Amino acid sequence: MQFVWMILLVVTVLTAIWDLFKREITIWSILICGIISWGYSLFGVIAGSSNILSFFMALIPGAALILISAASKESIGYGDGLMLIAISPALGLYETSFSLCIAFFVSGVLAIAVLIIKKGNRKLRIPFMPSFAIGLGVMMLAQI
């Protein structure tokens, strides 16, 4: 499991760097994470080491992020929600939620810092995937 998490972290960090500079999440990142995560999770369901309910429960944070994206006129992009849906089955509901909470905290601190140093206003769009990569890294360190 830790090996799969490390691969997902590497792909997420690369996606975060891309998101930081290009302000988009590529479909390739989502597909790579989805194939690894969903394949690993479905194999666990078939092998009996996991159950289908936990698989679907892990998708809830990503689905919620997509709903937030739709409700907020893409303040958080759809790509962020799709990336979360791609990654979450391998992580599980608790780990995904923990990573997401850390990501929201990091984004909030970053937004406050930008406002304090007067480099932006409240309409400034901050990429979310770098914050999620930090949250994922913190979650993985907390699991050790």
pLDDT band at 120 (very low <50, low <70, confident <90, very high): low
Helix (H, G, I), strand (E, B) or coil at 124: coil
Distance set, CA 50 to CA 13, 47, 128, 141 (Å)? 27, 8, 30, 23
Which pLDDT value is given to residue 112?
86
CA angle 120, 121, 124 (to 5 degrees): 75
pLDDT of residue 10 exceeding 90, the answer is yes
Contacting residues for 113 by C-beta, under 8 A, at least 6 apart: none
Task: Answer yes or no: is pLDDT of 121 > 80.
Answer: no
pLDDT digits (tens, 9 = 90+) for 44-69: 999 988 889 999 999 999 999 999 98
Residue that wins the pLDDT comparison between 129 and 119: 129
pTM, entire model: 0.89
Q: Long-range CB contacts (< 8 A, 24+ apart) of 51-57? A: 54/92, 54/93, 55/89, 57/93
- Residue 43: how many other CB atoms lie within 10 Å: 11
Q: In a 3-state reduction of DSSP, which class is residue 50?
A: coil
Nearest partner of 75 among 116, 131, 127, judged by Cα: 127
User: Residues 64-116: pLDDT tens digits?
Assistant: 999 998 998 877 889 999 999 999 999 999 999 999 999 999 999 988 888 88
